[in-house]
Amino acid sequence: MEVRIRINKSYLELAVGDITDLEVDAIVNAANSSLKLGGGVAGAIRKKGGKIIQNECDRIGYCPVGEARITSGGDLKAKYVIHAVGPVYGEGEEDKKLKNATINSLKLAEQYRISSLAFPAISTGIFGFPKDRCADIMLSATISYLKGDTGLKRVIFCLHDSITFDIFKNRLAKSI
């Protein structure tokens, strides 16, 4: 399953799969503020990318909700990992925080001259954020960003399962 649309000079794609297997310049980790690589996407990154990524996160130490930090990709195919801290559902101002996490990840990618970037559905795992709201916010922020002047050539939303893929696909159809 895959969807690909052109926005300005870039492509936005939806795919089902394991984000750690993608051949892109950077993948986004759905991180926590302490930058500890626990379960979910972060656990897969730790397992496949090696201890170096956690060591770099430990040196950074902390990242506020809505912001992002970057480390190397360790043993991953991706050169970088962008650690975006999304909100825990129910903590307040979640929509704004998720939008900021998305935009700050895109800006950080731009700063590092990254041309291909893959996002997971941030905050929809253990943080409990509704997948439909996540899709609306992340797709809207990304589409708006790609309509501007950017060096990003390809942004992929790599979704864990077909249910999440279908939600993002339906929301994307309404966004364009």
How many structural domains are present in the chain?
1
| Domain at 123, CATH number | 3.40.220.10
- Token pair for 23: 């051949």
- pLDDT at 39 (0 to 100): 85
- How sure is the predictor about 175, in pLDDT bands with cuts at 50, 70 and 90? confident
**61 C-beta neighbours (distance < 10 Å), count:** 10
- Token pair for 119: 């996002």
- pLDDT at 176 (0 to 100): 73
- How sure is the predictor about 174, in pLDDT bands with cuts at 50, 70 and 90? confident
Q: Determine the Cα–Cα distance for residues 36 and 29; give it in Å rounded to an integer.
A: 11
| Phi-psi category of residue 128: left, alpha or beta, with phi > 0 → left and psi -120 to 50 → alpha | left
- Domain with 156 in it: 2-175
